[in-house]
Structure 1
Amino acid sequence: MKKKLLILVVLIIGMYFGYRYLYHEHRDIAKEEAAFALKVPALLKEFEVDETKANTKYLDKPVLISGKVTSVDVPSKTIVIDKKLLAILVKDTKVEVNTEISIQGRLIGYDNLLGEIKLDQSTIK
């Protein structure tokens, strides 16, 4: 009986830690401090020179990017900055084309075919 009880307790503890590992709280990029603050051309140049090194440095980190808005798509909550950075906003925000902004988000990758950097969980600062 003690052996069955011990197995049950170990199983419940294992399930608890497994659940906590799989279903932890999501990151709030807007509340995190930006690891890097750059302009779009400088960031783009780093990816063009050495994509692997730039991915190691910036991928999945909060970055603060500044530049001029070149396109806004309200329904999909996306904006394009300097024609080379696509940012997906967390919430609807009114942004005008040809205005200088700073945006913080999580860098999710570089598309070398289009030469475009992508951010998600973005907020305008």
Structure 2
Amino acid sequence: MKKKLLIFVIAVLGIAASVYFYAYKDHKDIAASEADFTLTVAGLQKEFTDNDSLATTKYQNKVVQVQGTITNVDASTKSVVIDDKIYAQFDTSLPTDLEVKKKVTLKGRFLAYDDLVEEFKMDQSSIIK
């Protein structure tokens, strides 16, 4: 009887440890990883115009590198807008050299396309030098 109880306790602890390590695994470091896709804002817009659901499946939660011109910088929300189409949220403070009308290459995790305001959302963004 004691052997069965011991085996049961060990099995429960093993399952609990497996669930814990699966749920709390390290997050992907977007800034250090390679981009899955490199494109322009116009190219991204065209893909979503052609087939919204296919493009969402292709880009969602992927690392995307986008080239464009900064149209808005908001230090309070740690975000920038590129070509009036891409809203990019930074985890850390914004680089000090960001200014409107400056061309940049931005890398981040693609979240979604908001078709109501026709804007792409990205987070964990960083500027590629």
Task: Provide the rounded CA distance (Å) in 2 between the counterparts of 1:88 and 1:50.
Answer: 25
Q: Give the equivalent residue in structure 2 for 1:65.
A: 66
> What residue identity is the alignment partner of 1:115?
E
Q: Give the equivalent residue in structure 2 for 1:13.
A: 14
Q: Give the equivalent residue in structure 2 for 1:84.
A: 85
> What residue identity is the alignment partner of 2:69?
K
> What residue identity is the alignment partner of 2:64?
V
SS at match of 2:31: helix
Find the partner of 2:116 among 109, 113, 117: 113
SS at match of 2:89: strand
Task: Provide the rounded CA distance (Å) in 2 between the counterparts of 1:84 and 1:118.
Answer: 9
How far apart are 1:90 and its partner, in Å? 2.1
Q: TM-score, normalised by structure 1?
A: 0.98
How far apart are 1:91 and its partner, in Å? 1.6
Identity %: 38
Task: Provide the rounded CA distance (Å) in 1 between the counterparts of 2:39 and 2:126.
Answer: 15
> Gaps (5+ residues) in structure 2?
none
The reply to whether residue 99 of structure 1 matches residue 102 of structure 2 is yes
Partner deviation per Cα, 1:84-117 (whole Å, 9 max, x = no partner): 0000012221211100000000000000011101
How far apart are 1:31 and its partner, in Å? 1.1
How far apart are 1:48 and its partner, in Å? 1.5
Task: Provide the rounded CA distance (Å) in 2 between the counterparts of 1:121 and 1:81.
Answer: 15
Q: Give the equivalent residue in structure 2 for 1:123.
A: 126
SS at match of 1:30: coil
- Where in structure 1 do 4 or more consecutive aligned residues deviate above 3 Å? none
Aligned length: 125
Task: Provide the rounded CA distance (Å) in 2 between the counterparts of 1:68 and 1:107.
Answer: 18
Q: TM-score, normalised by structure 2?
A: 0.95
Task: Provide the rounded CA distance (Å) in 2 between the counterparts of 1:42 and 1:13.
Answer: 48
Task: Provide the rounded CA distance (Å) in 2 between the counterparts of 1:26 and 1:36.
Answer: 19
* C-alpha RMSD of the superposition: 0.7
